Amino acid sequence: MIPEFSFEFMHTFGPMLANHLWQSTVVALMAWGLSLLLRRNQARVRYWIWLTASMKFFVPFAFLIGFGGLTAGSRSELAAPSRITVAMDQVGQPFSQPVLHSSIAMPGPKASDTLPLIAGVVWLCGFTSIVAVWLVRWRRVAQMVRHTAPLREGREINALHRVTAKPLPLALSPMRIEPGVFGIWRPVLLWPEGISDYLDDAHIEAILAHELRHVERRDNLTALLHMGVEAVFWFHPLVWLVGARLVEERERACDEDVLLAGGRPHVYAESILKTCQFCLESPLRCVSGITGADLKGRVAEIMAKRSALKMGFGRKALLAVAGAVVVIAPVVLGQAKASQESAQIELGDVRYDVATIKRSDPNATWMSAGPRANQVYVSLNMPLKSAICDAYDVLPLQCVGGPAWIDADKYDIEAKPDSSTTEQLLKLSSKQRSSVHQRMFQALLADRLKLKVHFETREMSIFALEVAKGGLKMHEAEVGNTYKDGLKFGDGKPLGAGGFTWSYGRMTAQALLLDNLAVSLSSLTHRLVENKTGLTGRYDFTVHYSGEEPPPADSSEPSIYTALEEQLGLKLVSTKGPVKVLVIDSVERPSEN
């Protein structure tokens, strides 16, 4: 069970976590830049910027995109994805791995797959330690509150009535801590016993005014939320930077509010300094106090009577743009994607208007399959088993069952949608068009071949395509090369970028993705091959190998395994893993028309 958990964690949760951390880091850096730009503006603005950066750690872009999908309205017309939508989609998943095949499972676990499990244990230890420390602190303050005596009269109560008409319980604490608000829904102001002897009435009023601002702003609630972020993402250094900035801007915001309400700067500064002289305990994380943040800087700002500048139109517009990028853009992306998917669903029941299935010319040598530019689906000189695999997006080695003739007999299939469906298909992305064609082709095979299938997962031997120790020996394709003089179709038309030919003992590619090479190697080796090179570029290459496996003793050409390593700098590593297979339950010969 442990290896399976580790394996699934690495290939499923790991990339998702990497995406989320990357996105949250960018938002935190944006917050840092905005706070620098707005350093002379009101502290509460900077505070909300940092709080937004904190909450981003709890709200992945994927959630906002999903929310946008839920709020998207249906559209009757199909719309091609815009450049902005595509760009946001790419930003949303910068670490997503290239997928070889939708129904191909990842390779079986290796010894290194225990690393995610170790990382999980380390994270759990850090999380547990941090939560334990905070629970101890919280319990300490809670016990302190239980042993306090409520204040019902005295200088403090009189000062509180002068500051506000709102009720706020005051509790006299025997410990020499700074005055602070404890609690979220029913806050209590802890007032250390004996501190009033150090303060004048004006000082008491200033401190109470500051603490009331914490209550009005719900600072204990936001502090609790960020403490949750710190506990979950304790390993991320920016989380702790955000926490420090939240405390600093929180205190400055309260200072600004007190002074704007008529507080005298020198009295207010004296009250803070006298409180620091009285207190022997450091500020508690569970309490919103008065002495937090950069004390020297705060006092200097208070005494200088430096008023914060109100934001002009330009800076308000900048904040609006930043908010749109962080919140609105992912929601809009989700709405756009949902609209496109909704349009795709509307095409879910359409069928090809005209379709022909006939035996192939026995002298034909060219084989091809797939939709053409005019959305006509063509499969030439292919066994019906290959057509079935194509319809369900699996490789032939993943397709089992059925009579022998579906492997032996070759057919030509041409299926054409009507003009209205063709027009709608052209408005979809290539991935969406491929999905719709598959469903249409499945319906065609079910109708003409009476095909019935189901999926199973089986443990199978597979290969991982990796870079050999000697390094890569292929050349990366030239960007923009159209290969007009390169590989050609059977009718003489250029194959273009991504072209690939495979004949007896020879493979030639131009601007080919290694994912696609892995697909061809799967057919050649009769094992599923997954691209584990980590290379996402396109490559030109030609590889010569023996057409027989193993090669005859007198063969001058190496096996495909040796050829890959010697000529391309790649190797196939054998492993095992669960593979999704398509089981053919029943099929009938098609009637030609």
pLDDT of 227? 92
In a domain, 335, yes or no: yes
Tell me the Cα Rg of the chain: 34
In a domain, 116, yes or no: no
Percentage with pLDDT > 70 across the chain = 77
Pair 418, 388 in one domain: yes
Q: Is residue 84 part of a domain?
A: yes
413 and 516 belong to one structural domain: no
Are both 256 and 129 inside the same structural domain?
yes
Looking at residue 372, its pLDDT comes to: 80
Three-state secondary structure readout of 544-592:
ECCCCCCCCCCCCCCCHHHHHHHHHCEEEEEEEEEEEEEEEEECCCCCC
**pLDDT tens across 351-393, in order?**
888 889 999 888 887 777 878 878 888 888 888 898 898 889 8
| Counted domains in the chain | 4
Sign of the Cα torsion 529, 530, 531, 533 reads negative
Q: Which of 568, 539, 536 is nearest to 477 (CA)?
A: 539
User: Is 305 inside a domain boundary?
Assistant: no
Q: Which domain, by its residues, includes 419?
A: 348-449
State residue 295's pLDDT score: 67
Distance separating alpha carbons of residues 208 and 254, to the nearest angstrom: 11
The arrangement of strands across the sheet holding 452-467 comes to 399-401, 570-586, 452-467, 528-531
Q: What is the DSSP string of 4-61?
A: HHHHHIIIIIHHHHHHHHHHHHHHHHHHHHHHHHTTTB-HHHHHHHHHHHHHHTTS-H
Rounded CA gap, 239 and 536, in Å? 32
CB atoms within 10 A of CB 430: 8
d(CA 515, CA 538): 10
Select from 400, 353, 395, 402 the least CA-distant residue to 524.
395
Name the pTM for this structure.
Answer: 0.51
**Considering the domain boundaries, does residue 237 fall inside one?**
no
Mark whether 145 and 252 lie in a shared domain. yes
CB-based contacts of 324, cutoff 8 Å, min separation 6:
none
Determine, yes or no, domain membership for 592. Answer: no
The CATH number for 272's domain is 3.30.2010.10
Same domain (yes/no): 62, 205: no
pLDDT (tens place) for every residue of the chain, 593 residues total: 344 444 444 444 566 677 778 778 888 888 898 888 888 788 888 898 899 888 888 877 666 555 555 555 433 333 334 444 444 444 444 444 433 333 333 334 444 456 777 888 898 999 999 999 989 888 888 887 777 777 777 787 877 778 776 777 888 877 777 788 888 888 888 888 878 877 888 888 888 888 888 888 888 898 899 999 999 999 999 999 999 899 888 888 888 888 888 778 888 888 878 877 777 544 554 455 555 556 667 777 777 655 555 666 676 677 676 666 666 666 565 555 555 554 444 455 678 888 899 998 888 877 778 788 788 888 888 888 988 988 898 888 888 999 999 988 999 999 898 888 888 888 777 777 888 888 888 888 999 999 999 999 888 889 999 999 989 999 898 887 888 888 887 667 888 888 888 777 888 999 999 998 998 898 888 888 989 998 989 999 999 998 777 777 777 889 999 999 999 999 999 998 888 899 999 999 987 66
Residue 281's identity, in one-letter code, is E
- In a domain, residue 499? The reply is yes
